[in-house]
Structure 1
Amino acid sequence: MRIAVIGAGLTGVTTAFELSNRGHEVVVFERRSGIAAEGSHALPGVAARGLWLAHAAVGSPTGLPAPVGRGQWLWQWRRRRAAQHPALAQRLAAQEALDTVGAARRATWQAACELTYDRHTGVVAVLRRPADAERARALLDAHGDRLRGARWVDAAALATADPGLAPAVDVQGALHWPAGEAANGRQFAHAVKSAAQGLGARFACQMDVTALAPTGTGGWRVTRQRLADEADSGLASRQPLTALPDEDEDDSLPFDAVVLCSRAAVSRLVPGGRASGAWAAASQATVTVPLRDVQHASEAVGPHGAWMDPLTRVTLHRMGDRVRAAGPWQLGATRGARPDADAVQPLFAALEQAYPGATRTARAQLWLGSTMLPVDGLPVVGPGPQAGLWLHHGLGERAWSWSPATSAAMADLLEGRPADGIDVALLAPERLR
């Protein structure tokens, strides 16, 4: 099939690779000048099977970190209802399945394509309150047979799990995933893009899709406009429609299917796709800093893999010779291109408290990203409202860990096959309409 993929974040890139690997002709349209330039640019990249245990231990029953802030009351009400839904246990199982299948597919891709990107093992989630530590141990007792990769570590033994972690008097202990992973998600996206291109996928950047129209014969026409960078402002402006680079007369052919890998694209291009009470606009600040002594730095300096505080919803994780600190999702649309001091100060404080003196905070790179959060915390994977339209988005900060799994499920559904290892009914778009 000839398939258009709209959006070249982590989700779009992994979708392009999966479809190309199955022999489909894939063209990816991205309005920015490169891939992973918006919501995927500086996301935290942490993966572990059963990560929901850490968030449930501090009182988040959905197993995902709750955003902070006020407003969007309908979404917040629906989120509380989702936490009490009879299907909650199935949704937690779906998160575990996405963790498991995602890790397996990353390993398969790594072996097949020799992907090169910074990645490290070990995830630690510290618990500060005695009640939270007790709840975490109870959850491990209840689910440990199924989630064998997770274990409890007492505060005195935390150095065995993460040698670079400073002693903390207010930590009761931690959940530890020795095989959990931390990675540079943007490097991963570029490595997967190269692999997809080797399979024949084409990436058309600075190309804004403005309309989708059925052909009447089962295909779809994709109307797009090239965006040119203005030298004086750095912003993108619309120019007359231009043919894709390195394409010939087949540029005018329709596509057999279109996969939308961006919630913003769904809102603009799909009838009835505008935001509803099932989605909340949110932003996240991250800080990326180099380790202080790069030449002599080992995994005993800074995080071994990833460190999480589910109570404050701060995550620190290693990326080669750098460390990324990510804060909680803040309800509300992004304002400005950089986070303000109130958003980044807790990230610097967490770095200094957990790994004092390990990083050069004066050379920090700041980022403010935005997303739309689904009310039940699960991504959207499945058919759109019209035949030939497919939706694949809503992964948020789990994009690196889950997108290989959801991309495989998306390709299975598009090909009319059952998804392997994932209950796609829980991810179906209609659940949020």
Structure 2
Amino acid sequence: MRIAILGSGIIGISTAWWLNQAGHDVVVIDRETGPAQETSRANGCQISVSYAEPWANPQAPLKLARWLFRDDAPLLFRPQFDLRQWWWGLMFLRECLPGRLAPNIRAMVRLAEYSRNTLRHMRSDLGIQYDHLEQGIINFYRDPAEFESSQEMAGVMRNFGVDRRIVTTDEIVQLEPSLAHMRSSIVGGDYTAEDETGDIYLFTTALAERARHAGVEFRYSTELTRLIPAGGRITGAEVIRPDGLYETVHADAYVAALGSYTPHFVAPLGIPCNVYPAKGYSASFDIVDATAAPTISLTDSAHKVVYSRLGNQLRMAGTAELSGYSRALNTIRCDNMLRLAQELFPTALDFDNVRFWSGLRPATPSNVPLIGKTRIRNLYLNTGHGTLGWTMGVGSGRALADIISGRQPEPEFPFLG
């Protein structure tokens, strides 16, 4: 089949790769000048299977109420005149009901595990270098009450086969000596040795290049304007070419992997797609003292930020803003990230040349992505991965390629259709 992939982030490129490997004729369309230019450009770079848990849980509404008017809150809600935002919020509250937590975690963990295993095989088979480290992730806590409540979630994750080990402050410092000066502020944590880190941008761009050599066609600087329906099918994708002229791209099937923008193109067709942007921030620092910088990826639970070592730089990422589609940087949030990095690693990093970035994570209320068939028989979705696009990306692409090819995908997951 001729298949058009709409979007060239980690989700779109992975889908294109696996469809090509299944023998399909694939074209990738993206408005940017190359792959991984938007949400896959500079995220936190954790492959965090052991933390594949939803934002929506019974404790979330109370936390959100406390954070509502704080500009530096880990999750910031800014009401817009946007019905989609309010509908997303209502569905989020529904997902906070106790009975929704276990099925959402089960789906997320199964897909995340499958994706991590797929990534390991791809790394071995393709020889892609992307500054990956297999050192695990430490999630540390500053508040005793939060640490105590976290142990319940760690137990839930262990019930799903995730090795999330509770560790003391001394064990944390033994695992990651760069935190020794913070010993008095840390009350404990958990450690997941199987988790990984790696530069999503380097991986995605390298995979795109291998896909091109394998025969995938890439059409960059090409803006999708609409999908054209007729007779229960999509008959074409209308685009604006780099020369400014309109063109209709024809294919046998279409995959919408457009991140937070997916609803803009499928909602007019009557396809439900409750995805809303959760803007995240990152800060990248050059390392000036390697002995004082971490080698294990870290999550500061109190502030909901992560740190990942990527070669000779440290990537810090986190926070979420539910405030529409603007990628404008909030100075207060940037300053807060810089302060936190200086507190943790005062001598390790070049703080004078920090590189800030923001991206729009495509979030569903449950944090379970939308993957599979729609009621339009040749239109498929692969979106809604939220903060776990890198964790779930290559597995999502492989699973959808199986679905399109008429095969049963491997992971136990509530695929669409």
Structure 1 and Structure 2 fold alike (TM over 0.5): yes
The answer to whether the aligner puts 1:89 opposite 2:102 as a matched pair is yes
Deviation per CA, 1:44-84, whole angstroms, max 9, x where unpaired?
111233214697999459xxx97322424443332121121
Deviation per CA, 1:358-384, whole angstroms, max 9, x where unpaired?
110111111122234211111110112
The answer to whether the aligner puts 1:397 opposite 2:387 as a matched pair is yes
Given that 2:10 and 2:394 are in contact with CA atoms closer than 8 Å, whether structure 1 keeps it comes out as no
| Alignment correspondent of 1:163 | 177
- Equivalent of 1:321 in 312, 322, 335: 312
Q: Percent identity?
A: 22
Given that 2:227 and 2:234 are in contact with CA atoms closer than 8 Å, whether structure 1 keeps it comes out as no
Distance in 2 separating the partners of 1:415 and 1:422 = 18
Question: Compared with structure 1, are the counterparts of its residues 198 and 80 closer, same or farther at alpha carbon in structure 2 (3 Å cutoff)?
Answer: same
Distance in 2 separating the partners of 1:389 and 1:334 = 25
Structure 1 segment 178-327 matched on structure 2, within 5 A: 178-214=193-229, 220-227=235-242, 239-241=244-246, 254-263=250-259, 265-272=261-268, 278-293=274-289, 297=290, 300-327=291-318
One-letter code aligned to 1:390: Y
One-letter code aligned to 2:200: G
One-letter code aligned to 2:391: S
One-letter code aligned to 1:90: P
Question: Compared with structure 1, are the counterparts of its residues 393 and 39 closer, same or farther at alpha carbon in structure 2 (3 Å cutoff)?
Answer: same
Question: Compared with structure 1, are the counterparts of its residues 133 and 57 closer, same or farther at alpha carbon in structure 2 (3 Å cutoff)?
Answer: farther
| Alignment correspondent of 1:125 | 139
One-letter code aligned to 1:261: A
One-letter code aligned to 1:307: L
One-letter code aligned to 1:82: E
CA RMSD across the alignment: 2.8
Question: Compared with structure 1, are the counterparts of its residues 52 and 398 closer, same or farther at alpha carbon in structure 2 (3 Å cutoff)?
Answer: closer
| Alignment correspondent of 1:67 | 75
Worse-matched range after superposition: 261-270 or 14-23: 261-270
Question: Compared with structure 1, are the counterparts of its residues 145 and 379 closer, same or farther at alpha carbon in structure 2 (3 Å cutoff)?
Answer: closer
Structure holding more helix per residue:
2
The answer to whether the aligner puts 1:4 opposite 2:7 as a matched pair is no
How many Å apart are 1:24 and its aligned residue? 1.0
Given that 2:56 and 2:92 are in contact with CA atoms closer than 8 Å, whether structure 1 keeps it comes out as no
Structure 1: tracts of 5 or more residues without a match: 229-238, 243-251
Question: Compared with structure 1, are the counterparts of its residues 52 and 38 closer, same or farther at alpha carbon in structure 2 (3 Å cutoff)?
Answer: closer
Question: Compared with structure 1, are the counterparts of its residues 43 and 20 closer, same or farther at alpha carbon in structure 2 (3 Å cutoff)?
Answer: same
Distance in 2 separating the partners of 1:55 and 1:379 = 13
Distance in 2 separating the partners of 1:156 and 1:118 = 28
One-letter code aligned to 1:172: V
Distance in 2 separating the partners of 1:36 and 1:102 = 18
3-state SS, counterpart of residue 421 of structure 1: coil
Distance in 2 separating the partners of 1:148 and 1:391 = 28
One-letter code aligned to 2:263: S
| Alignment correspondent of 1:410 | 400
Distance in 1 separating the partners of 2:234 and 2:159 = 48
Given that 1:57 and 1:132 are in contact with CA atoms closer than 8 Å, whether structure 2 keeps it comes out as no
Worse-matched range after superposition: 259-268 or 410-419: 259-268
Distance in 2 separating the partners of 1:253 and 1:182 = 37
| Alignment correspondent of 2:93 | 80
One-letter code aligned to 1:124: I
One-letter code aligned to 2:245: P
Question: Compared with structure 1, are the counterparts of its residues 185 and 336 closer, same or farther at alpha carbon in structure 2 (3 Å cutoff)?
Answer: closer
How many Å apart are 1:273 and its aligned residue? 5.9
Structure 2: tracts of 5 or more residues without a match: 62-72, 80-84
Distance in 2 separating the partners of 1:165 and 1:241 = 55
Distance in 2 separating the partners of 1:213 and 1:57 = 39
